[in-house]
Amino acid sequence: MTKDHTSPVPQPRGRFITFEGGEGAGKSTQVTLLLDRLRKRGIEAIATREPGGSPHAEELRNILLSGLVAPLGAEAEALVFSAARIDHLDQKIKPALKAGMFVVCDRFADSTRAYQGTLGKVDPAFIHALEAVAVGDTRPDLTIILDVPAEIGLQRASLRRADANADRFEGENLAFHQGLRQAFLDIAKQEPQRCIVIDATLPAEKISELIWADVERRFVTVDSQMKARS
């Protein structure tokens, strides 16, 4: 049989990297630093966040962080976070991955597991089913968990917030934030292939170097070798 030389070579899926951790862990800072490093290497990449990342999901973000859904309970909050996630995936994440780009996302489904699941005491089977529906097979290739003692994270967040009011989750007590830290460490233990834990008390530039070393080893070197072979 003759080979069809006119058919386009399928574009390999891009890489999906998520950042997780408690309040003030430095996620947004590290998303920006990683994006800079990727782009400096000539890699096409976008940064995004949850809740939000697409126009409809940003509207749901405002509703969630205002605390409007909180009186309905943690199950209802998990549903609304997941609704925002479906739109974000459809409108932004999946198209970018399909185009072969790196997607770097500030929070994703592990936040639902930790905040609504562990801390909100929502049945793990419910969280699991919701994740299967909302995320499907668009799971992160790498999740970077920035680990910081709750006291330090809260202090950083309140310094950054200055006079602005705490949002729905920032207003929770210290025990809640300590529980959250443990919830993310437990996720890392359950999925050690996907997750790495980084000491987020280190200086931001040092954290960025550690993250880059992992990203480079897992993806950048492999992808450039594959490109060279094709």
| Residue from 18, 48, 54, 111 binding ligand Z5A (CB under 6 A) | 111
Residues 74-93 that bind ligand Z5A (CB under 6 A): 81
Q: Cβ neighbours of residue 185 under 8 Å, at least 6 residues apart?
A: 145, 147, 197
Q: Shortest gap between Cβ of 24 and ligand Z5A (angstroms)?
A: 5
143 interacts with ligand Z5A by CB under 6 A: no
Among the listed ranges 9-17, 25-33, 131-139, 184-192, the one in contact with ligand Z5A (CB under 6 A) is: 25-33
Both structure tokens of 102: 């790196």
User: What is d(CA 127, CA 147) in angstroms, rounded to the nearest whole number?
Assistant: 23
Pairing of strands 142-147, 102-106: unpaired
Q: Shortest gap between Cβ of 227 and ligand Z5A (angstroms)?
A: 32
Q: How far is CA 17 from CA 56, 58, 194, 207, in A?
A: 22, 20, 10, 16
Residues 113-142 that bind ligand Z5A (CB under 6 A): 115-116
Does an H or E element contain 53, and which? none
| Residue from 54, 112, 118, 208 binding ligand Z5A (CB under 6 A) | 112
User: What is d(CA 210, CA 216) in angstroms, rounded to the nearest whole number?
Assistant: 10
* Closest residue by beta carbon to ligand Z5A: 26
Q: How far is CA 143 from CA 18, 46, 49, 77, 156, in A?
A: 5, 16, 14, 23, 22
User: What is d(CA 126, CA 78) in angstroms, rounded to the nearest whole number?
Assistant: 9
184 interacts with ligand Z5A by CB under 6 A: no
Kindly tell me which of 106 and 141 has the beta carbon lying closer to ligand Z5A.
Answer: 106
| Residue from 60, 69, 207, 211 binding ligand Z5A (CB under 6 A) | 207
* 3-state SS, residue 104: strand
Residues 185-204 that bind ligand Z5A (CB under 6 A): 200, 203-204
Total residues interacting with ligand Z5A, rule: CB under 6 A: 25
Q: Shortest gap between Cβ of 113 and ligand Z5A (angstroms)?
A: 8
Q: Number of H helices and number of E strands within the chain? A: 10, 5
User: What is d(CA 43, CA 23) in angstroms, rounded to the nearest whole number?
Assistant: 29
Residues 160-179 that bind ligand Z5A (CB under 6 A): 160, 169-170
Both structure tokens of 78: 């998990």
Contact positions vs ligand Z5A (CB under 6 A)? 21, 23-29, 50-51, 81, 107, 111-112, 115-116, 156-157, 160, 169-170, 200, 203-204, 207
